[in-house]
Amino acid sequence: MYLGGITFSINKSFGRLQLIPESQGLRFYYTPIVDGVEQPNSPGFLNMLIPLDAVGGLWATTRAFLYGVESLDENVILQAGEGSAESDTLVKLYRDKPRGQQGRLSGEETCWLRIVTGRSEEERRRIKLGPRDLLCIELACNAVLVLAGEAGTHRPQPV
């Protein structure tokens, strides 16, 4: 668990996702819960930094989902280095298909955060998000943007 700064927690019966804003990006700190107890040494534990250049899209999609407006899913793929034994990491923010008439949003669609770091079941985390959870992600992303501006780590460059 991280202490000593602003963090946001998404707590579920199977795990706790702590969102830690940093000037370099948004840290996802996921701890599985086994038999009601946090198990940081258990399979599925994750301590990962979503880079600054991916936070803007995550922030915008979270806001769209929170306010019930049309938006595509958000996919962040963190590629493992060449020759690495680790696989790519997928962070996907999405919602169920629209339930309204003619494929429009009804407001009843469920939002999900999926984090996939490997092929085993423990490495495929799928978290159902309520409005409070979406608000946590939105506020955490906003805090990252503020920290990056203050720390001077926001330096976009043409590619």
pLDDT tens-digit map of 36-58: 999 999 889 999 999 999 999 99
* pLDDT tier at 83, thresholds 50, 70, 90: low
CATH node for 8-151: 2.30.31.10
Element (H, E) at 22: strand 15-22
Query: Distance between CA 97 and CA 113 in Å, rounded?
Result: 15
Given a cut of 80, whether residue 81 has pLDDT beyond it is no
Would you say 73 and 53 are in contact if contact means Cβ atoms under 8 Å apart?
no
48 HSE (CA, 13 A, CB side): 21
pLDDT of residue 85: 67
CB neighbours of 13 closer than 8 A, spacing ≥ 6?
A: 33
Against a cut of 0.75, is the pTM above it? yes
Question: Across the chain, what does the average pLDDT equal?
Answer: 90
Residue with tokens 């976009």, as numbered in its chain: 156
The mean pLDDT value for 135-142 works out to 97
Residues forming beta bridges with residue 38, ordered by sequence position: 33
pLDDT of residue 142: 95
pLDDT of residue 1: 65
